[in-house]
Structure 1
């Protein structure tokens, strides 16, 4: 596939604190957050002018799904714009709550687990050819996804390992420690059609949101909600590159894991990457060896086929340096670029200065603060301002993605439709493929082609409607 549609859905954790009173429950705060959304969109599930989807998910989790993108930098920018949009909603909610006598502090976290043991996700979507043999693809991809946390995990402080599933099988046993991934311990299955009850690494529900005769959607729900743009570059870029390699016909099914769910937990809790993982054929390989295998295959593929986007060389260099850092146990070469390494550096220095160990509640608090999306308060944002966390995009690029859709997908049509409907004061509704004027149901647009960018069909629809209303 020369050009691939990609997107990511981010669920946010919501928390309130009040110094003296009982804070509002998350569902109450969520209603405050989405009150202005409902006011103009008549729903808590809406599409917004940048082509993305904003909604309130099960469990009172605010969620933002990026518009369809074709470039990894577009995807990172659209995702970052979601943080800005969510922060605006929290700021408005905070003021509305204060006006009603609720003056607690609201926190919105871009993370994957709360203090009650609930997990929420960061779901990637990749368009794949319908002709691709899905079972072969998932078999080839699963060992990569299980071990991808080495290069794209958020890192997490494990204060009480005994509270985790299968803790007795962890390399660290019951000792408090630092792990690669927030999400890994909450995976229940490798592949399933359910995304909540089973919580698989790959969700097989066949919803392409495109021409189903040509495409299907690969729905990956095993990833951590990264804060770092450079980590996202590696996470999305390496996964998309592996898909290209698999779709080219390269046989990569020799690394099937005997127990993927056990393996993802074992991998997360071993920062050396050296815990042996059992393969389906009886062999054993470490997580680091599996990642090195995929990196070598990707390098060979690029040598034969060339780069397909401007960030490939940067992505491959970061992939190589991250594997080398784990192998040598010297993280200094990646500790401004990979989330878990950024965290590990800061927490290690803070612990040494304050004589803390990994079971310290203060480190757990800092772990949460790292994911606070507030630009003046969140630990990651403070580190980024200090130069301790790298970035790819400028503030101007993120702001552009906040206001505008990607130019190479049907998100452009969605943007034009919303602008025109609002300008004329017309009530509308839409999903990923439909755009409908509610008072003119016969004038609904159905756009199966996710690559469609000709806005003339939108202009023609509104010309018909405004002509008929004269």
Structure 2
């Protein structure tokens, strides 16, 4: 699993600044500071297939929107592979940090937070040349623009995609109450006054589809596995928020992976299908009391929390048959606790969930100053919540004051900035970049292209769980890239 986060970007005092150019400065300045190449050709696009659809067809290129052609490099845009196996690049008009692939939800949180440190350092480096750049780990500017935080999960290719759509859609609608980042304003351009749980809910227009930047679907059908296509799918999840709170982030990755296990085992069987998922998505997001009832296809009406408890019961039954592990137990302990809090009083989850933490701050201003939800000062606080600068970000100050539950340690997050996960192929990718940077021509999730005396060597990595630290230790101990390539059998 892994997380991709596009960061909101602005130049103080310059609302007219070109976001693409400014995003390029973020990436290139960080890369230059660490001796990494962030130029044309750094990423290998040869295996990318963004127009392949999981429903069994491919969209013709002449019918695709330009934003869908992510397999075409845009010359001049900065793009770099980091020593921790992550990708830092310009995606459309935002700097994006795509974490390396990991095996557990906890590691996903650690490496997502490592991306925050990368972006924070880039901001600090650029601050020496006023006006500098400001970055926000959020998903909308409150004025109609939305940008994504996407999750990725390895999925058994044998699982029928229609089952994925049927049994995952209700979960995505319901999980907002746990993973939402909160937003001041209702509607895409915040034209309605109020507060909602999920910052992205109002931007979704379809139940199923290939697009990610328009006509956004609850279930994205991009069939681009970045792995052995005969064995795997990569479920590309776009219906989520950027989380700063560790508990919310852990539950986002952990609960989703557990529900996917149910889907693979056909343990849901359509019993929680919704009558109108798009309507339900908004109904859940627009109700911070968590009491809104959504209608199921069979006529039952349930709250989002009740839906999540229903999935939780199925997870318990599944684990009773197949067993659990430490990582799963951690997720379930927090899930049970948080769902209990939401059921009794959502505001009691302020230490664990971003949308509740943000709402508690905003409500404090409303109570003190008598502010209506349409007051621009509340919108400013909303944006400031996700400012990644420690002295400016509202979340950062809450966490520093001990008002947020921390599951990761500063030491493990700092280490993850430069150290790749030891149990996935990201280890080999990151170590090759660290130790043989001049010889790395390009890289992608499933390959690394190296310059060797006889020409070019391509190391293929179709299995995400292979080529970790133990499997590559002997090969990487060699001094020259030629010896490494030969030892790997490439």
Is the aligned partner of 1:232 residue 2:229? Answer: no
Find the counterpart in structure 1 of residue 445 from structure 2. 432
State whether structure 2 residue 148 is matched by structure 1 residue 153.
no
Gaps of 5+ in 2: 41-77
CA distance in 2, matches of 1:286, 1:236: 21
Deviation at 1:249, TM superposition (A): 2.9
CA distance in 2, matches of 1:294, 1:11: 30
| 408, 425, 432: which one aligns with 1:417 | 432
Q: Which residue of 1 aligns with 2:482?
A: 463
CA deviation after TM superposition for structure 1 residue 140, in Å: 0.6
Distance 2:423 2:100 in 1: 11
Aligned to 2:263, the other structure's residue is in SS state helix
C-alpha distance in structure 1 between counterparts of 2:402 and 2:188, whole Å: 36
CA distance in 1 between partners of 2:476 and 2:237 (Å): 32
Residue 151 of structure 2 is matched in structure 1 by 124
Match of 1:325 among 337, 341, 344: 341
Structure-2 change in CA distance of 1:314 and 1:35 (3 Å): closer
Match of 2:216 among 183, 199, 202: 199
- Please tell me whether the aligned partners of residues 15 and 108 of structure 1 are also in contact (alpha carbons under 8 angstroms): yes
Q: Which residue of 2 aligns with 1:3?
A: none
The reply on whether 1:61 has 2:94 as its aligned counterpart is yes
Deviation, structure 1 residue 328: 2.6
> 1:390 aligned to 2:408?
no
Contact in 1 for aligned 2:142/2:379 (Cα 8 Å): no
Match of 2:39 among 42, 45, 66: 42
Q: Which moved more, 1:335-344 or 1:449-458?
A: 449-458
Matching of residues 209-228 of structure 1 within 5 Å = 209-228=226-245
Aligned: 1:92 with 2:125 = yes
272-281 or 259-268, which deviates more: 272-281
1:171-230 CA-to-partner distances (Å, cap 9, x unmatched) read: xxx5x2221110111112122122223221221111111111111111111011001011
For the pair 1:12 / 2:7, whether they are aligned, the reply is yes
Aligned to 2:53: none
| Structure 2 counterpart of 1:31 | 24
Which whole-Å deviations, capped at 9, do the CAs of 1:3-23 have from their partners, x for residues lacking one? xxx0110010001222xx766
Question: Which segments of 5 or more consecutive residues in structure 1 lack a partner in the other structure?
Answer: 1-5, 168-173
Aligned partner of 1:78 in structure 2 is 111
In structure 2, relative to structure 1, the CA distance for the partners of 1:113 and 1:378 (3 Å cut) is same
Take 1:466 and 1:178, find their aligned partners in 2: how far apart are those partners?
A: 55
- CA gap 1:441/1:218 in 2 versus in 1, 3 angstroms: farther
Counterpart pick for 1:378 among 345, 370, 393: 393
Structure 1 pair 314–358 and aligned structure 2 pair: CA distance change class (3 A): farther
**Residue of structure 2 equivalent to 1:177:** 194
* Residues 347-396 of structure 1: CA deviation (Å, up to 9, x unaligned): 22232222323222211111111111112221101000101111111110
- TM-score, length basis structure 2: 0.84
Q: Does structure 2 retain, via aligned residues, the 8 Å contact 1:16–1:25? A: no
Identify which range, 32-41 or 399-408, moves more after superposition.
32-41
Q: Deviations over 1:281-323 (max 9, x none)?
A: 444333232222112222333344332233x344323323333
CA distance in 1, matches of 2:484, 2:332: 51
Q: Kindly tell me the number of residue pairs found equivalent between the two proteins.
A: 439
Q: Name the CA distance, whole Å, in 1 between partners of 2:333 and 2:114.
A: 26
Q: Which moved more, 1:218-227 or 1:24-33?
A: 24-33
Alpha-carbon distance change, 308 to 284 in structure 1, aligned in 2, over 3 angstroms? same
1:76–1:233 contact (8 Å) kept in structure 2: yes
Is the CA contact (8 Å cut-off) linking 1:371 and 1:379 kept in structure 2? yes
Contact 2:283 2:292 in 1 (8 A): yes
- The answer to whether the 8 Å contact 1:271/1:326 transfers is no
Which of the residues 160, 167, 190 maps onto 1:140? 167
**283, 290, 294: which is aligned to 2:311?**
294
- Would the alpha carbon gap of residues 22 and 71 (structure 1) be closer, same or farther in structure 2, given more than 3 Å must change? closer
Equivalent residues of 2:84, 2:100 under 8 A apart:
yes
Give the match for residue 47 of structure 2: none
Q: Helix, strand or coil for the counterpart of 2:395? A: helix
SS of 1:428's equivalent? Answer: strand
1:273 is displaced (CA, Å) by 2.7
Task: Report the CA distance between 1:427 and its aligned residue.
Answer: 5.0
TM-score (norm 1): 0.87
* CA 82–335 in structure 1, closer or farther in 2 if over 3 Å, else same: same
Please report how far the alpha carbon of residue 124 of structure 1 lies from its aligned counterpart in structure 2 after TM superposition.
0.6
Change (3 A) 1:359 1:216: same
- Judging changes above 3 Å, is the alpha-carbon distance between structure 1 residues 355 and 53 closer, same or farther for their aligned structure 2 residues? same
* Aligned-partner SS, 2:413: helix
User: 2:109·2:246 contact (CA, 8 Å) conserved in 1?
Assistant: yes
